[in-house]
Amino acid sequence: MSSPLRRDDVAHVAKLARLTLSSAELDMFTEQLGQVLEHANDMSSLNLEGVKPTAHPFELLNVVRADEIRASLDRDEVLAMAPDAQDGRFAVPRIMGEAP
Amino acid sequence: MKSAAQTVADVASGASSANEELDRSLGAIRARNDELNVFLYVDEVGARRQADAVDEKVRRGEDPGVLAGVPIAIKDNLCQRGIPTTCSSRILEGWRPPYSATVIERLLAAGAVPVGKTNLDEFAMGSSTENSAFGPTKNPLDPTRVPGGSSGGSAASVAADMTPIALGSDTGGSIRQPAALCGVIGVKPTYGLVSRYGLIAFASSLDQIGPFAKDVRDAAILLEAIAGHDEMDSTSLPEPAPSLSAHVDDGVAGKRIGLVRDLVDGADDEVVDAVEGAAQVLRDAGATIVEMSIPEFRLGLSAYYILAPAEASSNLARYDGVRYGLRVDADDVTAMNEATRTAGFGDEVKRRIMLGTYALSAGYFDAYYGQALKVRTMMIDAFARAYRDVDLLLGATTPSVAFKLGSKVSDPMAMYLSDIFTIPTNLSGEAAVSVPFGTGEAGLPTAVQLLGPARSEARLFAAARILEIAEGR
């Protein structure tokens, strides 16, 4: 896994992450992200066959509360902070394109 | 500056008042905030209202609370109802949360007086507070240097005597490292000891809220006030807050403390000297110092810079211009999402989102994320083996004293290395404290780090107190 990252990879990842990068930014991030991944390669040589992965520091069981109705955040107060709202809902630009 | 403990005593006895303490705090903020950029927002109205409520309780002879009248600074990634909360990001500029973090509710109930929101690296990603969209915070001890990060504003507030205590968050060292660079106490509590409800998420399995203070007792009092189970955070430990301040003077007699080479090697000589000096002080106080090596710690940085960005890439997906904060208009919703995120996030946040997206993407998941999860297990097992032999561990907090503004900001990898000694504790979910100890280059403070297993805060504070006494504090 040496030189793990290409410019195209960064462009692809930026698209997945909904970020637009200029050509200069693509160059910069390719180099910088490559350095971090190169550093991370010290893990790739380890034989971790049979080691259990840990996603969370403590064993947690599902936590549930009683199924009873309680007050939640005030809808108007929440929507007042939204960039755009309409009829008690968040409003966004169109989602579907024009019919072909 | 007066300690929090002394402030509470004075306010409760009538020797002072919450309003007088607030005046002093606001005066100190006014005097230096333009120069240092510590606070992004000062909530004079809300603070005054809370101070009045505390003073009224004292007048009526009611219990004003364990933090009565103590001004406190709040890192600006903690939600406070109606108060601008930005995470130092353009993407949240202008947002006022419709609810308060559990820690804020508990502080108010304890009589503390939140005075405002402090600067941080954007979304707590950084080690110098230079990644803030609102400009860097400067180190009050030397304004040509960084205060550390990401909780640099909170550390600086305490160091500049603007508030006796502050809250920060620590995902890879973001409380302990700035505490070290600013010469104050910083505590990363056991994961789950403090509710994360209302802490804007960076890496949820690593994030933990904790105290900054001028002395160990104040840190213990503050942690007691904010700790304990909260049903709003299902990862909070199902138990009440532990007793901590009562154990500050327990000492270290008979304790075994591991001096970990891997938490010292590579640090500057003056930092190494501080750790060795601290070991001698603890030995003189009756502890046994055991030299040990935990080579797994060297893998921490690699695992962290896969795991934390992976979690961040998922957590920060919510900033899409739909529900809060910035929206940059575009013709359709996807273009709007992309334009908003591109304009709203700074470079470091973009780096981490892309790194995490890459590590989680098809074809690379096993090699990076999967492998890092296993290294995390190795780290936990390595700590557990060490704690079968010793009660606590000792090492450096960070490799150097406060560095110059601008010296690392264009080299992310150099910046990441600031966290090399603090990261292992976040990966294991255990507890650690940074204590100022000794002096380095240009009279700047050096610091040492004490590490302990889950729920060892009382033991950590007792050991930290021994170091504090040796420093004449």
Model pLDDT, residue B97 = 97
**Residue B457: is its pLDDT beyond 60?**
yes
List the single residue in B192, B327, B339 with the smallest CB-CB distance to A84. Answer: B327
Element (H, E) at B373: helix B371-389
What percentage of chain B has pLDDT greater than the value 90? 97
Q: How confident is the model at residue A1 (pLDDT cuts 50, 70, 90)?
A: very low
Strand partners, B212: B166, B186
Residue B17 falls in the annotated catalytic set: no
**Token pair 């904060």 in the structure block, residue:** B325
pLDDT (tens digit per residue) in B106-155: 999 999 999 999 999 999 999 999 999 999 999 999 999 999 999 999 99
Distance from the A53 Cα atom to the nearest Cα atom in chain B, whole angstroms = 4
Per-residue pLDDT of B399-422, as tens digits, reads 999 999 999 998 998 999 999 999
The residue among A33, A13, A20, A10 whose CA lies nearest residue B348 is: A33
Percent of chain B with pLDDT over 70: 100
DSSP 3-state assignment of A22?
coil
Please report, as a single letter, which amino acid is at residue B15. Answer: A
Q: pLDDT-based confidence at A100, cuts 50/70/90?
A: low
**Structure-token match 């960064």, residue found:** A10
- Residue-range domains of chain B with CATH: 4-246 (3.90.1300.10)
Both structure tokens of B25: 């705090």
Tell me what the mean pLDDT of segment B340-352 comes to. Answer: 98
Which residue from B26, B20, B11 is spatially nearest to B162, judged by alpha carbons? B26
Reported confidence tier of residue A3, pLDDT bands at 50, 70, 90: low
Confidence of residue A57 (pLDDT cuts 50, 70, 90): confident
Chain A residues within 8 A of B231 when measuring between CB atoms: 65
* Range in A29-43, B11-25, B72-86 the model is least confident about: A29-43
The residues in A 26-85 lying below 8 A from B, measured between CB atoms, are: 29, 32-33, 35-37, 39-44, 46, 48, 51-58, 60, 63, 65, 73-74, 77-78, 81-84
Q: Is B157 a catalytic residue?
A: no
With 0.90 as the threshold, say if the pTM is over it.
yes
Per the CB < 8 Å rule, is A83 touching B355? no
The whole-chain average pLDDT of chain A stands at 90
Helices B216-226, B4-13: inter-axial angle, 10-degree rounding: 70
Distances, alpha carbon B27 to alpha carbons B1, B19, B24, B244, B318, in Å = 13, 12, 5, 32, 38
The crossing angle, in degrees rounded to 10, of helices B18-36 and B44-60 is: 160
pLDDT tens across B174-225, in order?
Answer: 999 999 999 999 999 999 999 999 999 999 999 999 999 999 999 999 999 9
Distance from CA of A100 to the nearest CA of B (A): 16
Strand-pairing partners, residue B395, are: B449
- CA distance linking residue B100 with residue B107, whole number of Å: 11
Domain ranges of chain A: 7-45
| CATH for the stretch A7-45 | 1.10.20
Could you report the per-residue pLDDT of B88-109, keeping only the tens digit for each? 999 998 899 999 999 999 999 9
**Is the ipTM value over 0.90, yes or no?**
yes
